[in-house]
Amino acid sequence: IKIADFYFKDTAQMMKNKIIKETNIDKIEIQKLSKNKFRVILGPYLDLKSLKKEYNKLAKFNFENIEIIRNV
Handedness of CA 63, 16, 23, 50 (dihedral sign): positive
User: Would you say how long the chain is, in residues?
Assistant: 72
Residues 15 and 6: beta-carbon distance below 8 Å: yes
DSSP label at residue 67:
B
DSSP assignment letter at 48: H
Say which DSSP state 21 is in: H
Per-residue pLDDT tens over the stretch 55-68: 888 888 888 788 88
**pTM score, whole prediction:** 0.83
- pLDDT tens-digit series, residues 5-29: 999 999 999 999 999 998 888 889 9
Q: State the Cα–Cα distance between residues 47 and 3, nearest whole angstrom.
A: 19
